[in-house]
Structure formats: structure tokens, C-alpha cells
Chains A and B, each alone.
Chain A
Amino acid sequence: MATVVIMPKVDMDQETGTVGQWVKQEGDSVKQGETILEIETDKVAIEVEAPASGILSGILFGEGETVPIATTIAYILEPGEALPSGAKPPKAAAAPVPAASAPASSGPGPGSNGTAKRTDWEVPVTPVARNMAAATGLDLSALHGSGPGGKVTKRDVEDALTPPAADANRYGKVYATPAARRVALERGVPLESVGGSGPGGRIQAADVEAYEIAVPEPVTLPPAPLAAEYEVVPLRGMRRTIAERLTSSYQQAPHIGFNLRADMTKFNQARAELNGHAEKTGGPRVSATALLVKIVASVLARHPWLNSSLQGEEIRLYREVNIGVAVALETGLIVPVVHKAGQKGVAEIGAEVKRLSTAAREGKLLPSEVRGGTFTISNLGPFGIEQFNAILNPPEAAILAVGATQNEVVANDSGEIEVRPIMRVTLTVDHRVVDGAVAALFVADLKATIESPVLLLL
């Protein structure tokens, strides 16, 4: 509880008192009974003792100022306590009150100089809301008060402290209304790809409907003359999801592709060394995919725009690098995710890719294992594909299509002809987010690291 320091009445007929010298200054710790200032009446000069122990704060009157008796001239606060809501701002540009020692993000505190912005002192605010804001460093002037007369209430502060999107990110969930979820389910729209127009970025039913509109209505074919001419496979389940997601991806995101050829000599050497080491230590062998995931994750850390997605009105640059690895199934395709790939070693990545691929083929992937991807790698090298283009895996902004490593005849730096193991890779990006030059820098960095995996040590 703040204790007020008042102008004391020391004479029978005294009506005012004049502040003499402040013995203690704004922000000083004081003990009860300790002299904090001297005052003068028209008869005497007298010392005023601290009425409580604490921190002297909010000094309102300076030396020589005369005020009526019982006027509040300062406060003594407990450590960390804010000035009471009715308090006036300190007279002088004094040291900040303890409340303002909260994080640097705190808004204009009572001690700060006036700016065009409303200061806390001008914001109508309930006492509990003010205390909460002071304790958390929240800028009250930015809040919309829902109380009477626009007063900022406890609820307003609580709402500001826990933005819905933060909860959604923390738990890996989507912030959407029940109606939006229902519509998304009915239409097979992946909610995580839909931008939210509601308060706090909440996805509304209309957002899902708008997303759907981008996908064309299924074309109704005339009845087939002879059903025997073909086999009918109903579009459902995973097939339907693939159809809808990739159609909408291809229609919504302008795709651009970048081809590169990487000399795999050192990559293969590095892998051979890693596997040699694994043999000696009994560790697992490192697949080319695992090493590639490691390299891509490591390079992506330097190119955040390639590790992003456009969602509604915002572009999200992800702090984690979660690499999806496309796995072909008999009935379709699924992309399990190696989470935080940049922080894992190749052996760990290798084991995880193997486990996820097996789980994918057995249909045992957990929802959490296919969510949260920020970049996808699709490797058709094992099928002997030389080079191909991939469609973006929504809502990710980039995907890497990896071809087979084959011996090719190339001209080396000296203009001589050599045979080298070459892997062809195509990067596809969402041009709404990633421009050509940004993609080219990534591709160059990626090529350099594939061709010289020692750069992983950077």
C-alpha cells in the first residue's frame, strides 16, 4: 500500500507550509521515522519524518513551494509498487518511479517526458488494471478501454497480455471460430492455410468460404456413354486432400523455379566418412536425404524468407526450421516433418526420417508429425528422375525438388572436360513472398554447401 506524505500541521493556526529542503530524493529507500524533508511555516522550520518505510516516490512539490496543510506532497511505496491511480505526475522530471523499472517495453511511464501519445496518467484506468500494467510493463495508452467512459479494465489488460495468436502458436493450434472449423471440415479446406480476418487474427467462416472460392467448382461431366471404358475411383480421403490443396496452392501462389546443378564429389566423400565413422562406432548409416536435410536446414537459417509463409494479411518468417520430407505412398503422398532440423545432427535426422517414412507407409503418423512444416524437400532421385518441378506445399513459401545424382560430363574451371557426379535440384518459391534475387542467393548458398559440406561448420 502506498503511504502518502502530507504537508503536516505543526502550529495551531497554521494553514500552509513551505517545502524546505528534500533530505531524501525521489527513488531513495527510506525508513519509518527517518527525516525525509524540512518544511517551514511562518513561525518555525521543522523536519518531517517518513510515515512508513519504503521508497520515496512521486515527489510533487519542490523547494520553496507553499501548499495547504494536509496536501499530499509525495508517496512512500513498497518495492515494485506503482503510484496510486489518483496520483498526479511528479512535478519535476524526477527519476523514474519503481514501477517504470519494469521491462524496457513499458509505455510512457509517469516519469517520462510528454509525447504526442497519451501517457498513462491520462488514460482512464481502474486501479487493478494500472497495477497489472505496471507489473508487466504494458503500455496502457495503446489499449482500448471497455469500461465505463472508455476506462481500461483488468479484463482489457488481461486480453492485451495474452493475444490469442500467441496461444495458437504456443500449442501449435489454429485460432478459428466453431463455424469456420465446421465449414473447413465440410469443404476440406486446410485451416492452417487460411488467413484470419477476425479479432486477433481469428479465422471466421467467411475466411474459409473465401478460400474455397479460389478452388474451381468441380466440372460436372456428362454421363459416360459406356461405364466399362474406365474404372471409377471416387475422389475421397487423401486423394481429395491432395487434389484440393495442390490446386489451391498452384492457383493462389505464383510459382517460380530455379534450377541448380551441384557437384556431389565432396558430398559423397563426406557421407562416406560419416558412414565410415558410423561403422566403427556402430552408429546408424547416414542417408543422402538426411545429409541433404541437414544442409538445407543449416542454409535456411541464413535465409528466413525461404522459411516462411503468406497467411492472409501477414507473412510469417518462422523462427524454427521444420523440414518436411515428401514420402510416396501407394495411395498418395504425405509429408512428415523433421522438426527443428537445424538443431539436430545428421545421425539424428537420419533416424528420424527413417522412422517417419516407415510410419507414413504404415499409416501410423501422428497429426503432430505432419504439422508445422516450414519447408519441404521432395526427392525423386531414387526413381532415377533427373530433374523436376514441385508444387508448393501450402502454406509454405518454398519447396526443393531433388533429382538423381548421375555422372555427367562437365567442363571444369580450367576448361577441361571431366566426369563428375552431378545432382540437379529445382527450387520452387511463392513469388508473393520470395523474389528472384532472394531465391538466387539461397540457391547459391545451398549449392556451395552441398558442394562443400564442410561449410556446415560455419
Chain B
Amino acid sequence: MREITYLEAVREAMTQEMERDEKVFLIGEDVGQYGGAFGASFGMLEKFGPDRILDTPITELGLTGAATGAALVGMRPIAEIMFMDFLTLASEQLVNQAAKLRFMFGGRATVPMVLRTPAGSGTGAAEHHSQSLENWFAHIPGLKVVMPSTPYDAKGLLISSIRDNNAVVFVEHKLLYKTKGPVPEEPYAIPLGQADVKREGKDLTIVATSVMVSRALEAAKTLAEEGIDVEIVDPRTIRPLDAEPIIQSVIKTGRVLIVHEAVKMGGYGGELAATIAESRAFGYLDAPIVRLAGRDIPIPYNRTLELSAVPQVPDIIAKAREIVQGKV
């Protein structure tokens, strides 16, 4: 199969959906002439024109409100927030309006919008451009939160998100944009709320999200050489969460390591850990549920500190080894 990048997969999904459905449009800061801060919409202004590729002023709240309103009257907007950090500014429209309206109108109104946003550290962009805030939105009933980890998932999940009748927060990872993988040329949809086993194994379950999936896969190679056979489950959408494959995997391995980039305190890993502990997998746990996640600090600018602030491949290897060797 043809290989393209994660970024190209995002662009291809938007392009194909805009070709399929004229109600789909893109709105955001620098998404038009500049082609998007990371180039996700590069060339799309030329293809679709300024009526469907809308550059806005620097106003996350305003553009999210505009997208919410457009969705309410029947359009299917894709809004791009340049950095996930600035979802804090868009939160009023997203959390208090877009997430609520369907319920407040008894289902007679829907908000079929997608809010795409790059998250994560690793680019030297420091405190204000490096955060992973997905759990803020996973907490809100009425929102869906999607976190693709591969080009294939990015395209299939974005197409599903655009076709979904709810507000979807679509979290892309900056470090994944340039990673390549096989992606079918034709449009296809991966259902929201369907976890994916990225690697099968028997000794330890690693539940990882976003960029941590590829780090876990990398770690699994080294661990395999040591005879540690790791199973990697990628929830892909953290709301709704498809818990069953995680539970099945933990029952199989008896040990689980949860890896995410967001700060551990109050992070989504706690939700995963509790989901496992509350399930029938509890009686199969032969080690404590362990979380490996971001340190309890803002992402530092200093390169060394930045790398140390979130889990890296050697951290995953070390922690996995500890769990399997019975040291925790």
C-alpha cells in the first residue's frame, strides 16, 4: 500500500470529505494562505476557495463560536486551533455550548463540528505550545475526544469525526505529523470508540495514546529481545472509551502499564486505571496498575528538561522491565 505522512493523511481526509459533502468547510488561524501552522491545509485554499477555507483573526473563542453556530444550522465545520494550549480560550464555546446544545434541545439540534488541534511537546515550543490537555475535554459529556497515533488511524478517524453529529475534539500530535505509514487512497471510516491492539503479546499490557503508541512499539522491540512480550492497546478515542479490549488484554497478561504524555496528576491514565480496577480484570492483576506519564511541571523550554518531562522510549523499557520482573 502507498505510504503517506500523518499530516498528509489529515489533509487527505479533509479534502476527500469536502469533495464528498459541500457542507464541510475549514476555519482557523492561518489555515488559508499560509496552509496551516503545520501545513495541514496546504494547497486547500487553491482547491476549494476562500468560501470554504476561512482564515480568521487570532480569536480562538470567536472561531469556535462561529463553527458551533454553523454546525447548529446544518454545516459540518472543521475548526483548527493552532495549538491545543489555546483550547483554553475556546473552551466556553466548546464546553458550555457545543457540548450542551444537543442535550438542551432534546436532540432537535446537533453540533456536527470537528475541532482539530495539534498537541504535545518535543518541538522546543515551551510552556504555551506543548501541552496535552485531552483529559480536560474527555471529562465533558457531549464531546468526543479522538487521538490518532498512526497515519492510517488519522485518516479513518478524521473522516468518522467529520461525519459524526457531535462535537469532536480531534487531537493530533506534532511529532507524528512527519511519520509515514500505509494509508489507502480511497476514503474509509474507522468507527469512533473502537480501540486497536497495535501489538499482541502475553507478558504485559501497555495502554498508550497518541505519540506514546509509537514509543511503546519501539520499546517493545527492545523488550522482545530480552524475552518480554508486550501487548500494546491504543484506545484511539478516549471518549467514548472502548474498554473491552483493554480489559481482555489485562486478563491475558495480568500486568498493565499506562503511558501518556499528559501530566500524570489528574491525567487520563487515572481513568484507564480505574476502569481496569473496576472491571473483572481486577481479579487477574498480578501487579499494581502502573502509570507512566508527564512529570508534574509545565513543559520546559530547555531541550534536556523537555525530553525528561514526558516518557521516552528508555523510560517505557525500564518501567516495563520492572513490572515484568516483579519489582513493583
Contact = CB atoms under 8 A, between A and B. Distances in A.
Contact of B326 (A178, A180, A182, A199): A199
Contacts, number: 29
Contacts of A178: 282-286
Nearest to A178: B285
Most buried by B among A148, A179, A204: A179
B123 interface: no
Given A148-B308, A179-B254, A205 B326 contact: no
A182 B328 contact: no
B326 A177 contact: no
Contacts of B327: 199
Contacts of A181: 283
Interface string A196-211: 0111000011100000
B58 interface: no
Contacts of A179: 254, 283-286
Contacts of A206: 286
B224 interface: no
Contacts of B287: 177, 198
A150 B254 CA distance: 28
A197 B285 CA distance: 15
Nearest to B282: A178
Interface string B301-315: 000000010000000
A184 to B, nearest CB: 11
B319 to A, nearest CB: 10
Interface string A170-182: 0000000111111
Contacts of B308: 148
Contacts of A197: 326
Nearest to B305: A148
Interface in A159-198: 177-182, 197-198
Given A148-B308, A205-B254, A177 B286 contact: yes
Nearest to A149: B308
Interface string B81-111: 0000000000000000000000000000000
Contacts of A204: 286, 326
Contacts of A198: 287, 326
Nearest to A148: B308
Contacts of B282: 178
A205 B287 CA distance: 10
A255 B328 CA distance: 36
Interface string B286-328: 1100000000000000000000100000000000000000111
Interface in A94-148: 148
Contacts of A177: 285-287
A198 B282 CA distance: 18
B328 A205 contact: no
Nearest to B286: A179
A205 B254 CA distance: 9
A279 B128 CA distance: 87
A148 B318 CA distance: 13
Contacts of A180: 286
A201 to B, nearest CB: 12
A197 B287 CA distance: 12
Most buried by A among B286, B287, B326: B286
Nearest to A205: B286
B245 to A, nearest CB: 19
A322 B327 CA distance: 34
A183 to B, nearest CB: 9
Contacts of B283: 178-179, 181-182
Nearest to B287: A177
A199 B328 contact: yes
Contacts of B254: 179, 205
Interface string B257-293: 0000000000000000000000000111111000000
A387 to B, nearest CB: 46
Nearest to B325: A199
A181 B254 CA distance: 13
A181 B284 CA distance: 9
Most buried by B among A148, A177, A182, A197: A177
Nearest to A197: B326
Most buried by A among B282, B283, B308, B328: B283
A198 B284 CA distance: 15
A177 B283 CA distance: 8
A134 B81 CA distance: 50
A206 B325 CA distance: 13
B318 to A, nearest CB: 10
Nearest to B277: A178
B179 to A, nearest CB: 28
Interface in A195-254: 197-199, 204-206
Nearest to A206: B286
B130 to A, nearest CB: 19
A204 B328 CA distance: 11
A185 to B, nearest CB: 9
A104 to B, nearest CB: 30
Contacts of B286: 177-180, 204-206
A117 B85 CA distance: 48
Contacts of B328: 199
Most buried by B among A178, A180, A181, A198: A178
A330 B153 CA distance: 66
A24 B326 CA distance: 53
B32 to A, nearest CB: 44
Nearest to B326: A198
Nearest to A185: B283
A179 B254 CA distance: 8
A196 B133 CA distance: 41
Interface in A55-86: none
A182 B285 CA distance: 10
A239 to B, nearest CB: 26
Can you list the 6 inter-chain pairs with the closest CB atoms, starting with the nearest?
A: A182-B283, A179-B286, A178-B285, A205-B286, A177-B286, A179-B284
Given A199-B326, A206-B286, 14 more contacts: A148-B308, A177-B287, A178-B283, A178-B286, A179-B254, A179-B283, A179-B284, A179-B285, A181-B283, A182-B284, A198-B326, A199-B327, A204-B326, A205-B286
25 contacts: A148-B308, A177-B285, A177-B286, A177-B287, A178-B282, A178-B283, A178-B284, A178-B286, A179-B254, A179-B283, A179-B284, A179-B285, A179-B286, A180-B286, A181-B283, A182-B283, A182-B284, A198-B287, A198-B326, A199-B326, A199-B327, A204-B286, A205-B254, A205-B286, A206-B286
Interface of B: 254, 282-287, 308, 326-328
